Amino acid sequence: MTKYYSAKLILVITLLVMNLLPVAAQEKPIYKKWNPATEQFKVIEGQAWTGSTEEPYDRLPSKAKGVVRQDVWNLSKNTAGLQLRFRSNASEIIVKFKVGGSIQMQHMPATGVSGVDLYSKTIDGRWVWAAGRFNFKDTVTYTFSGLQETINMWQTGNTLSISLYIIR
């Protein structure tokens, strides 16, 4: 029997969005904190049972616990296939979160286990991957900068793809 990978989310994934307000060079940027798990409207996609899960990022409804095999239930706690959909006029988006357990596996690097990908749709309908800088320490941080230079994220929307195991 293979060992089941477990990771506990210590802090909910949080987007820090820099507002595009005119700021003088001497002033610090203004950031807006956003927690998708507490939104009143659906922003977490990839779940068939939105609102009926034990935790915001689970993939099976709580009523499936004890009905499906334990291995299946354990796998439903992984975030594979989940995405966050949102609109923003930010020039920079910072994603921060903590995981319990290892951020990588022997056969998979940290970017595959605990990473995120940001895609934005251009006005002409093309999806564009936003290259981000990342740091894997006690808090995983992804910084996506210069976003307004190539795309209009407010009009077209964004998708933050959550990696396989980061939220548990």
Q: CA-CA distance, 7 to 40, in Å (whole number)?
A: 26
Query: In angstroms, how far is CA 69 from the centroid of its own chain?
Result: 27
Q: Give me the residues paired with residue 134 across strands.
A: 142
Per-residue pLDDT tens over the stretch 61-72: 999 999 999 999
Greatest distance between any 2 Cα atoms in the chain: 59
The pLDDT value recorded for residue 118 is 92
Q: Which domains does the chain have, with CATH numbers?
A: 14-162 (2.60.120.260)
Per-residue pLDDT tens over the stretch 78-127: 888 889 988 887 888 899 887 766 778 888 888 877 889 998 887 777 88
Model confidence at 147, in pLDDT bands (50, 70, 90)? Answer: confident
CA 136, 11, 115, 31 torsion-angle sign: negative
pTM above 0.85, yes or no: no
